[in-house]
Amino acid sequence: MDYKKLSKQISYALRHAPWKYGLELDGEGWANLRQLLKALQARGWRGLTEADLQNMIRLSDKQRFEIAGNRIRALYGHSIPQRIVREPVPPPEVLFHGTARRYVPAIREKGLLPGGRQYIHLSVDVETTLQVGKRHDPRPVVLKIDAKRAWNEGICFFRGNDQVWLADAIPGRYIEF
Ligand code: HQG
């Protein structure tokens, strides 16, 4: 089974367009697992089972989804209009953001903005940051975020998974270029 293709389609369903799959997300982003399976089966994933989803999650390089009972959700990345409810959590002292060289002037001017997504995505280590940045630029820029100071001064941070942190917009004064 092509787990990468499956993961991309489930990301699309759970982060960006649940309504296209007949799904309704609750406040914390959970969807009904059986309904998702049915929708995917109808789109060519014949015979798809919950075990396939478990394997896809287990074998993935990133922790993107979470299953609990008959529910499944994406841990980060949402762009749907309904904002996923999250509990603000004190972040590590420093976090990183990988981006393209071409975005740096705008980030200097306006700070980090979530753009199409609900939150900004930050990484805990430089290696992961480079991977994220390489999606936008072969020679990405690593920005260092003074997360502790931003938190102390009222910027909200949220945990996505072990590697990914989420945050509201981050003004330039907390960013080291
Ligand atoms: C940039 C992937 C101009 C920002 C990754 C980024 C991540 C600005 C781009 C997750 C800006 C948005 C999210 C400003 C920020 N002016 N550009 N003021 N502020 N930007 O893809 O963080 O594999 O929406 O730097 O690993 O790259 O899908 O966000 O370059 O965890 O699971 O606007 O998606 O995970 O790009 O990636 P994206 P991202 P998955």
pLDDT of 50 reads 97
User: How far does residue 107's CA lie from ligand 1's centre (Å)?
Assistant: 12
At 140 the pLDDT is 98
Cα–Cα separations (whole angstroms), residue 44 to 48, 65, 91, 101, 116: 9, 21, 41, 39, 29
The full set of domains in the chain, from first to last, is 3-74 (1.10.10.970), 95-176 (3.20.170.30)
Mutate-to-test residue for ligand 1 from 8, 135, 137, highest number of ligand atoms within 8 A of CB: 135
Residue closest via CA to ligand 1's atom 13 equals 121
User: For ligand 1, is residue 69 a contact (CB within 6 Å)?
Assistant: no
Distances (CA, A) of 141 to 36, 41, 113, 148, 174: 37, 40, 16, 21, 16
At residue 24, the pLDDT reads 97
Q: Residue 111's pLDDT is what?
A: 98
- Residue 130 backbone dihedrals phi, psi, to 5 degrees: -65, -40
For residue 123, what pLDDT is reported? 98
The pLDDT of residue 154: 98
124 DSSP assignment? S
Structure tokens, 165:
């942190």
Find how far residue 140's CA is from the centre of its chain.
19
Q: What is the largest CA-CA distance in the chain?
A: 52
Mean pLDDT in order along the chain per 10 residues (177 residues): 97 98 98 98 97 98 97 98 96 98 98 97 97 98 98 98 97 98
Q: What is the pLDDT of residue 15?
A: 98
Residue nearest to atom 29 of ligand 1 (CA): 121
Please count the other Cβ atoms lying within 10 Å of the Cβ belonging to residue 120: 21
